[in-house]
Amino acid sequence: MSRFKASARPRPSAYDKALGLLARREHSLFELRRKLGQGGYAADEIRQALERLDASPYQDDQRFGEALLRSRVQQGYGPMRIRVELRSHGLSDRIIAELLEEAAVDWDGLAQRQLIRHYGTEPAEEAVDRQRRAQYLQRRGFSAANIRAAGQRLEEAGTDDGMTFDASCFGE
């Protein structure tokens, strides 16, 4: 026989469950719908809970997007990767465009800092090394223009004499 009694607490409503999730961190409506569905709540109950949350100050997709954007920028990710992640959380293209436009981020400078953080200040003298660095930044979500600008900034700063990213780095 078990020493512990089974909990006799009733299951919380979908709205209460969503509030509990939001108390831990921001969530998009899309995420809440998915998590409530996985929790076994009826579609109608989920819809009503999300409508109620949408009308309240507790959940805001714009605020969720701002928090995610801020977090990913601090982690050194570029705009293309952030855009894809925001879209995967169910944010509309309009909200995503607004967030990226309003973000006061120097994407070229962020790409430059990521190169220095990952590769140090040693010059990339061989074409294969330049290509490897460009591919690293591409995987982190930076555009070819951001990558070229980061290479030029490093070159101008004298930090990396051989860091010119040309079309060959991008398979063009």
Residue showing tokens 């290479």 = 151
Burial 126-136 (b: 16+ CB within 10 A, else e): eeeebbebbeb
Percent of the chain topping pLDDT 90: 72
Q: Is residue 115 part of a domain?
A: yes
* 149 and 98 in a common domain: no
pLDDT at 161: 44
Q: Is residue 125 part of a domain?
A: yes
Q: What is the pLDDT of residues 72-118, one digit of tens each?
A: 999 999 999 999 999 999 999 999 999 999 999 999 999 999 999 99
Q: Which domain holds residue 121?
A: 107-170
Length of the chain: 172
* 114 and 101 in a common domain: no
Residue showing tokens 């705009």 = 79
- Cα–Cα distance measured from residue 86 to residue 68, given in angstroms and rounded to the nearest whole number: 8
- Cα–Cα distance measured from residue 47 to residue 23, given in angstroms and rounded to the nearest whole number: 20
Looking at per-residue pLDDT, the higher value among 170 and 123 belongs to 123
- Cβ pair 160, 121 in contact under 8 A: yes
Other Cβ atoms closer than 10 A to 74: 9
Tokens (6 digits) for 63: 């605020």
Q: Looking at the 3D structure of the chain, how many domains does it have?
A: 3
Q: Is residue 70 part of a domain?
A: yes
